[in-house]
Structure 1
Amino acid sequence: MSFEIRRLTPPEFSLLAPQLVEIYIEAMHYNPAILHSRISSWRNDVTRPGFSAQIATHDNGIVGVAYGFLGSPDSWWDAELRRGLLLQGGPTEEQWDIVRNYFELAEIHVLPQYQGHGLGRKLLEGLLWNAPARYALLSTPEVPNEDNGAFRLYRAAGFFDVLRDHLYPADARPFAILGASLPL
């Protein structure tokens, strides 16, 4: 199979947001009813400092997406990160260093039928190669023994634990928040 990784401009990302969110919903097994609220949220993210996005394509169709931006105390995710660190007894000095200088890898998803071809790794590396921060942070659903492709990808790329078993208000599943020093 032949794939292409391509960077998107903010206007392209905004235009393609409905299709990109559909990939997210399928990959994360979310209820399709969230489609319109997620499209709006993703479109708003293009205004965040440091915004960057990439897609993976195959036969002129989009099969994967990754995007992110600089972490900021005015985002809900940063508030969740800080809340989680407080609940687990932190933040430590090392954690404060991370919280003050990170690129939030907001989303990275590949359609299930195209996983296992190295697209996640290419999207991850392409998105983070010039991220303007000392660290990258992301969250991923917890799985027993870290036994899935996402955890294997993140560990192979050098991601370490920042928080484990974090519960977001809108998702009953526990999540791991992982970080990596940049450049990867």
Structure 2
Amino acid sequence: MHLRPDEFLLLTPELVKIHLAAMDYPPGIFDSRLRAWRSDRLKPGFHAVVATHDSEVLGVAYGFLGDPAYWWDRQLRHALRGLPSASQPKIDLNEGYFEVAEIHVHPDYQGAGIGRRLITALLDGAPAHLALLSTPEVAGEHNAAFGLYRSLGFFDVLRHHYYESDPRAFAILGAWLPLASSSGL
């Protein structure tokens, strides 16, 4: 189900709880995440989708157009500047991109294809030619998230990136839009 920004605002507390559970984050960051998510709904190109069953929200994905004024964009540009030129991905952030800010399925419902439906619905018709996202690094990419992203044509933009607020390493992945494959819907 696609959400208007006002619908997203009403559901934000429930959506952030899914985010915390899916990412195994401590409940103590709820308020800061709630504020950030509510603020994100005001960004240009904002689009959100949720997966529901019997009025229960099972998962969420949302994003917006990337902008050099945003924290994540600044993190990405800084990290890419630090790469040797031969290692830099063949993308131009100045041409614009759609930032997949969040995609989460409650742990009780993972593995049922909900994430695929969420990301394909989110990126179908996204107002950019490139989508970017970050996901925690996993040894050998052996988890469902990496499998999903690779099956949809996501490629490496930056690996083993660290954010100040999280001790885990993250991979930043990109995909040309429209997505290469959305089979399995």
- Does TM, normalized by the shorter one, top 0.5? yes
CA root-mean-square deviation? 1.3
Structure-1 residue corresponding to 2:183: none
Q: Does 1:94 align with 2:82?
A: no
8 Å CA contact 2:2, 2:48 repeated in 1: yes
8 Å CA contact 2:89, 2:157 repeated in 1: no
**2-structure distance, mates of 1:152, 1:86:** 28
TM normalised by structure 2 equals 0.93
**1-structure distance, mates of 2:146, 2:89:** 26
Seen in structure 2, the aligned counterparts of structure 1 residues 93 and 106 have a Cα distance that, compared at 3 Å, is closer
* Paired letter, 1:67: Y
**2-structure distance, mates of 1:153, 1:177:** 14
Between the aligned residues of both structures, percent identity stands at: 56
TM normalised by structure 1 equals 0.93
**2-structure distance, mates of 1:108, 1:156:** 16
Secondary structure of 1:183's aligned partner: coil
**1-structure distance, mates of 2:74, 2:95:** 12
Q: Does 1:30 align with 2:20?
A: no
Unaligned runs of 5+ in 2: 180-185
Following superposition, the deviation at residue 87 of structure 1 comes to 2.1
Question: Within 5 Å, which residues of 2 pair with 1:163-182?
Answer: 163-182=158-177
**2-structure distance, mates of 1:23, 1:46:** 17
Question: Within 5 Å, which residues of 2 pair with 1:150-169?
Answer: 150-169=145-164
Question: Within 5 Å, which residues of 2 pair with 1:79-158?
Answer: 79-90=74-85, 92=88, 94-95=90-91, 97-158=92-153
**1-structure distance, mates of 2:61, 2:143:** 18
**2-structure distance, mates of 1:75, 1:43:** 15
**1-structure distance, mates of 2:51, 2:88:** 37
Structure-2 residue corresponding to 1:51: 46
Structure-2 residue corresponding to 1:67: 62
